[in-house]
Structure 1
Amino acid sequence: MIALGFEGARVMRHDGWDDGPLAMAQGRIVDGDAPRVDLSGYDILPGIVDIHGDGFERHMAPRRGALRERASGIVACAAELAANGITTAMLAQFWSWEGGMRGPEFATEVFASVQAVAPTVPVDLRLQLRLETHFLDSFADAEAAIDRWGIRQVVFNDHLQHDRIAAGRKPQRLTGQALKSGRSPEAHLAMMTALHDRRAEVPAALDAICARLAAKGVNLGSHDDRTANDRAIWRARGARLSEFPETAAAARAAGGAGDGIVLGAPNVVRGASHAGNIAAADLIAAGLCDALASDYHYPAPARAAWRCVELGLLSEAAAWRLISDGPARLLGLHDRGRIAPGLRADLAILDRRTRRVAATIAGGRIAWMSGDIASRFIARG
């Protein structure tokens, strides 16, 4: 951590820009003076808080079976996060019957790697466990992993194609998913059918595990809510986070009850959901979004914020809050997400002309720097 001040830049405060000096020391934003760097032509914004992203997977397993050095993948992931202005990242890892990179064995490798690497990199790396609702026989193991690795956020998914299984039809993409899991298509389908057949046991099991996790202070959420009733059921279990609601009805139900709504930044950038669900921009326009997440692409949050401005949906300050203060609030991280005295020195420094990230400071440490801005820091002496 370094003591340093900045002048000449625009600074994104909670309600908008100002051009006053900014200083940091001991990893925090401070009111005092410090040796200053001239950042004329640059903008300083709060570091991005990524509430949900699985882009780390391509670093952990760039080709199936090719690499086993998981820790090196997390180091590379941290560098990519910082290069995109992300200073806090929730790495969303499946715990699923789907197997392969979504199975418990791979999840355990991810958790161990993050625990080993996190203290050595500036970006704050955190874990989210994505638990498949029908993976009943693994609930106890998942809960043990949550306890062991200190995981503070759990989101529930259901990726079984119930309608097709109930109708006796082959699930979509069965062969590809089976190959990824290391099973034959026949074995994979048999397992999916067996899980589907136990669906009557699922609600009570979910009630129980949610109650236990909530009692431990774990932040709970649901994924892909489709109806207002879906959201009501999860809210009753203590899951007050609605990730990627698929319909306006589900989003309105979440917003009306004060639940946190997380949408995908790539959806905003694309202008549509890749899965054919409601466009995130439409929900943002309706005031039904608290945070944008990288989902699967780490450059997307910053680009999505600016896209909200370009579309006339939000002011620059309000758009940036969707990737900084908003997600920090939903995660209960009240020491970040804004630029204010006493908060963490998490800063994304952007070239004003191109809006590209030129430097990232996480917890008062330089996490990323590229190009001409480096000469400004060197010249301060």
Structure 2
Amino acid sequence: MPIAPSSLRLTGATVLRDGVLQSRSVAIEDGRISKGPLPEVDLNGYYILPGIIDLHGDAFERHLAPRPSAPFPIRTALRATDRDAAANGITTAWMAHSWSWEGGARGPDHAEAFLKALDDYADEALTDLRVQIRCETHTVDTADRLLAAVRRHRIDYVVFNNHLDEAIQLAEIDPARLALWARQAGRSIEEHLAVVHAARGQKRDVPRYLCRLAEAFDTLGVSYGSHDDEDGETREYFSQIGAKICEFPTRRAAAALARAVGDPILMGAPNVVRGGSQSGNIAAQDLVRERLCDALVSDYYYPALLQAAFHLVDEEMMDLPQAWAMISTRPAEILRLPDRGVIDYGRRADLAVVNAETRVVEATICEGRIAHLAGEAAQRFLSAGNEEIRLAAE
């Protein structure tokens, strides 16, 4: 049974509201930002910030299979991912699950099982967990199945990507890695190569397939984009068919084209924190500096979102309200979620309580429910609860 929302007034903290840091209280009632006298929690020494909204994360894959040969049940992985997100101030998160010819944990069978498991887990969830489908372009024969899954599970976000060339190159230069890839999909190397070549044989039908999906997504209200655009021409193609979100452009030209036509640009927070791409692509920080990045996503590491925001502040590239908007306000705008991303009356009470000295998330509140509580903040919340009980007894 879902936990009832808390009714509290958080006082003494520095609050990000109306685009600036302010010294004021935040009242929570019935899962929304409210007004009026309520039991108080003193959060002097803390920031109260809008809950983080993560548009793309695949950290859940580590919980599905901590080792490639050691898978765990999907429900276990969802529970661990949910708590992982909450502990890092994330209140809304899209888990990026592949829909690919690759098979195994990245194939349609696993995607459908994952979506069903998430539906079953929803009542237990601490955060708002959703699925972004990463649709490989060369999956033409799955069109009806994909659209049925989108409708059945109310999917609201899809991105197109094409890893086929990478697979073909891998077969030529890294047989050991290819063997691992095949084994993870439950195939022999020969079987896996046959699947790769069959996917390549769909090339002629891919444009019609993507346009069919795009038309259906427009009808269903699904947001969609593309992943790993290598150049402006690729980004322009996807933009023209309606795939407006530019996720992880690998070169500046792709990001520049997206900016020119008004498409939102997403980059990985780990790229910002580490000072560059782990795969040799363009540095996210360079795009942020040139204002060619609208929002940051966790990619493969949830803690990087908060760390990236403060990194941008420390590098004097922007102030905290501007940096935090890249992981809260802008993602909400991009995925059309008007009820979150800012702290304001009537909006969802999605909040991250961050220790101002250590910059550690010590409390996460999702729709008024406490999803994570630790450290000194936990002591303060518990003390407030004891006082409420004492007053009620009197």
Letter of the 1:98 counterpart:
E
Residue 200 of structure 2 is aligned to residue 196 of structure 1: yes
How far the C-alpha of 1:66 sits from its partner, in A, is 3.6
Query: Which segment drifts farther, 280-289 or 207-216?
Result: 207-216
User: How far, CA to CA, are the matches of 2:365 and 2:43 in structure 1?
Assistant: 14
- Trace 1:235-254 onto structure 2 (pairs within 5 A): 235-254=239-258
Task: Find the counterpart in structure 2 of residue 306 from structure 1.
Answer: 310
Residue 223 of structure 2 is aligned to residue 219 of structure 1: yes
Q: Deviations over 1:277-317 (max 9, x none)?
A: 11000000011111100011111100111111112211111
Select which of 175, 186, 190 maps to 2:190: 186
Are 2:31 and 2:367, in contact at CA under 8 Å, matched by a contact in 1?
yes
Query: Which segment drifts farther, 195-204 or 302-311?
Result: 195-204
Select which of 75, 82, 85 maps to 1:71: 75
How far the C-alpha of 1:63 sits from its partner, in A, is 3.3
Letter of the 1:28 counterpart:
R
Please give the root-mean-square deviation of Cα atoms over the aligned residues, in Å: 1.7
Task: Find the counterpart in structure 2 of residue 353 from structure 1.
Answer: 357
* Structure-2 change in CA distance of 1:216 and 1:199 (3 Å): same
Task: Find the counterpart in structure 2 of residue 115 from structure 1.
Answer: 119
Select which of 152, 156, 161 maps to 1:148: 152
Letter of the 2:195 counterpart:
M
Letter of the 1:290 counterpart:
D
Task: Find the counterpart in structure 2 of residue 22 from structure 1.
Answer: 26
* Structure-2 change in CA distance of 1:345 and 1:194 (3 Å): same
User: How far, CA to CA, are the matches of 1:244 and 1:37 in structure 2?
Assistant: 40
TM-score (norm 2): 0.93
Task: Find the counterpart in structure 1 of residue 391 from structure 2.
Answer: none
Task: Find the counterpart in structure 2 of residue 290 from structure 1.
Answer: 294
Give the share of equivalent positions with the same residue, in percent.
44
Are 1:262 and 1:289, in contact at CA under 8 Å, matched by a contact in 2?
yes
How far the C-alpha of 1:171 sits from its partner, in A, is 6.7
Are 1:161 and 1:171, in contact at CA under 8 Å, matched by a contact in 2?
no
User: How far, CA to CA, are the matches of 2:199 and 2:108 in structure 1?
Assistant: 16
* Structure-2 change in CA distance of 1:200 and 1:168 (3 Å): farther
User: How far, CA to CA, are the matches of 2:312 and 2:327 in structure 1?
Assistant: 12
Q: Deviations over 1:2-39 (max 9, x none)?
A: 11001111101242210011111010111323111111
Task: Find the counterpart in structure 2 of residue 5 from structure 1.
Answer: 9
Consecutive unaligned residues in structure 1, runs of 5 or more: none
User: How far, CA to CA, are the matches of 1:168 and 1:286 in structure 2?
Assistant: 37
User: How far, CA to CA, are the matches of 2:94 and 2:109 in structure 1?
Assistant: 20
Aligned length: 380
Q: Deviations over 1:249-304 (max 9, x none)?
A: 10011111111111000100111111111100000001111110001111110011
Letter of the 1:70 counterpart:
I
User: How far, CA to CA, are the matches of 1:246 and 1:14 in structure 2?
Assistant: 34
Residue 105 of structure 2 is aligned to residue 101 of structure 1: yes
Query: Which segment drifts farther, 200-209 or 86-95?
Result: 200-209
Are 1:14 and 1:317, in contact at CA under 8 Å, matched by a contact in 2?
no
Task: Find the counterpart in structure 1 of residue 390 from structure 2.
Answer: none
Q: Deviations over 1:209-252 (max 9, x none)?
A: 21112111111110011111111111111111010011111001
TM-score (norm 1): 0.96
Residue 209 of structure 2 is aligned to residue 208 of structure 1: no
Task: Find the counterpart in structure 2 of residue 378 from structure 1.
Answer: 382
Are 1:164 and 1:171, in contact at CA under 8 Å, matched by a contact in 2?
no
Are 2:83 and 2:126, in contact at CA under 8 Å, matched by a contact in 1?
no
User: How far, CA to CA, are the matches of 1:179 and 1:55 in structure 2?
Assistant: 21
User: How far, CA to CA, are the matches of 1:39 and 1:26 in structure 2?
Assistant: 21
Select which of 159, 181, 204 maps to 2:163: 159
Letter of the 1:106 counterpart:
H
* Structure-2 change in CA distance of 1:207 and 1:38 (3 Å): same
Task: Find the counterpart in structure 1 of residue 392 from structure 2.
Answer: none
Corresponding residue SS for 1:372: helix
Letter of the 2:349 counterpart:
A
How far the C-alpha of 1:65 sits from its partner, in A, is 5.3
User: How far, CA to CA, are the matches of 1:36 and 1:93 in structure 2?
Assistant: 41
User: How far, CA to CA, are the matches of 1:100 and 1:322 in structure 2?
Assistant: 34
Corresponding residue SS for 1:161: helix
Consecutive unaligned residues in structure 2, runs of 5 or more: 388-394
Letter of the 2:144 counterpart:
A
Q: Deviations over 1:119-178 (max 9, x none)?
A: 22230111111110001112221111111111111111100117956x994577322211
Query: Which segment drifts farther, 273-282 or 207-216?
Result: 207-216
Task: Find the counterpart in structure 1 of residue 347 from structure 2.
Answer: 343
How far the C-alpha of 1:62 sits from its partner, in A, is 2.4
Letter of the 2:223 counterpart:
N
User: How far, CA to CA, are the matches of 1:343 and 1:49 in structure 2?
Assistant: 14
Letter of the 1:248 counterpart:
R
How far the C-alpha of 1:378 sits from its partner, in A, is 2.1
Task: Find the counterpart in structure 1 of residue 133 from structure 2.
Answer: 129
Task: Find the counterpart in structure 1 of residue 87 from structure 2.
Answer: 83
Task: Find the counterpart in structure 1 of residue 233 from structure 2.
Answer: 229
Corresponding residue SS for 2:322: helix
Task: Find the counterpart in structure 1 of residue 63 from structure 2.
Answer: 59
- Trace 1:273-284 onto structure 2 (pairs within 5 A): 273-284=277-288
Are 1:7 and 1:20, in contact at CA under 8 Å, matched by a contact in 2?
yes
Are 2:10 and 2:25, in contact at CA under 8 Å, matched by a contact in 1?
yes
